[in-house]
Amino acid sequence: MNQAEFTRALAGLPLAKAEFFETIGSTNDVVAAWAAEGPAAGLCLAAADEQTQGRGRDGRSWHTPAGSALAFSLLLPPPAGFEASQLGRVSGLGALAVCEVLEGLPGVHAPGGIPAEIKWPNDVLAGGRKLCGVLPEAHWAGSRLQALILGIGINVAAQSVPEASRLQFPATSVEAAAGRPVAAADLLRAVLERLLTWLPQLPDAEFLQAWERRLAYRGQAVHLHTEPDAVMGLLVGLAADGSLRLSVDGEERSYPAGQVQLRPLVDSADK
């Protein structure tokens, strides 16, 4: 994606600020700097064709190769009714938007759209393989939640997928899932439209239900690796704050997002 494609993709969208970078360290760092300047007047966007110091969860790196992937970050004013106790929902906002775009994206392999799932708390899967990661952050002014930061990285073309030896989980791309090339600018536009639709509903039960319907491994046995322990249980669904609900030895427990790794039990020895 280049500057001209970026500009066309945003035409008519209600953004307070938008900047495009050919190369940047981290788009999340850009919008974090904007947040430090004061409350956003509206939704702000930073996007890059290449990201060299992107971050994933737990301090992992997320490199976005030039011309093959989509990296962007949003500065979101908290919607009306949103409470700090619901921060766990923010990663679901990005993942849900990406899922809905994929479901409406016909391709050679998936003429009716690409079936997509959300691997809690922040990954989007197609065919059981990761093609998108979401990194949420909160910006505070003292004890007051001032802004939400949402970073999204999508593997668009096949060359965006790292070598298997560098992966902690199997990965794919939108191009591979669809069986045809897909323009990064078109994906950006579509994801932003879905985000803008869901953002006002972030505090609502309807949002949580839409996320939960796409929850990977629901009803299946999983391993949840936490620090310093690991638990095995049946994945039940989501709690109101976005935490994961597991049935462990017949007792339902909730686990917040953090330094965790979720794996299906059948594959846990191999991934």
Confidence of residue 41 (pLDDT cuts 50, 70, 90): confident
**Statement to judge: residues 101 and 61 lie in one domain:** yes
**Statement to judge: residues 49 and 161 lie in one domain:** yes
**Statement to judge: residues 45 and 141 lie in one domain:** yes
What pLDDT is stored for residue 229 in this prediction?
80
Task: Quote the number of domains for the chain.
Answer: 2
Map tokens 């704050």 to a residue.
241
For 70-123, the pLDDT digits (tens) are: 999 999 988 999 999 999 999 999 999 999 999 999 999 889 999 999 999 999
Q: Which of 4-8, 37-41, 45-49, 183-187 has the lowest mean pLDDT?
A: 37-41
Going by C-alpha positions, the residue among 142, 151, 81, 89 that lies closest to residue 120 is 89
What pLDDT is stored for residue 165 in this prediction?
72
Mean pLDDT value of segment 14-26: 95
CATH of the domain at 235: 2.30.30
**Statement to judge: residues 14 and 107 lie in one domain:** yes
**Statement to judge: residues 235 and 117 lie in one domain:** no
**Statement to judge: residues 93 and 130 lie in one domain:** yes
| CB contact at 8 A, 97 and 194 | yes
**Statement to judge: residues 168 and 247 lie in one domain:** no
Q: Which domain holds residue 246?
A: 221-267
Q: How far apart are CA 47 and CA 90, in angstroms?
A: 19
Q: What are phi and psi of 196, to 5 degrees?
A: -65, -30
pLDDT at 127 over 60: yes
**Statement to judge: residues 189 and 55 lie in one domain:** yes
Confidence of residue 60 (pLDDT cuts 50, 70, 90): low
**Statement to judge: residues 148 and 237 lie in one domain:** no
Q: Residues, the chain, total?
A: 271
Tokens of 84: 């700090």
- 0.85 exceeded by the pTM? yes
**Statement to judge: residues 231 and 199 lie in one domain:** no
CATH of the domain at 194: 3.30.930.10
**Statement to judge: residues 122 and 41 lie in one domain:** yes
In this structure, the strands spanning 244-248 and 230-238 are antiparallel
Mean pLDDT across the chain, nearest whole number? 91
pLDDT at 57 over 70: no
Mean pLDDT value of segment 183-210: 97
**Statement to judge: residues 237 and 191 lie in one domain:** no
Q: Which of 25-34, 46-55, 118-127, 150-159 has the lowest mean pLDDT?
A: 46-55
Confidence of residue 270 (pLDDT cuts 50, 70, 90): very low
The neighbouring-strand residues paired with 252 are 247
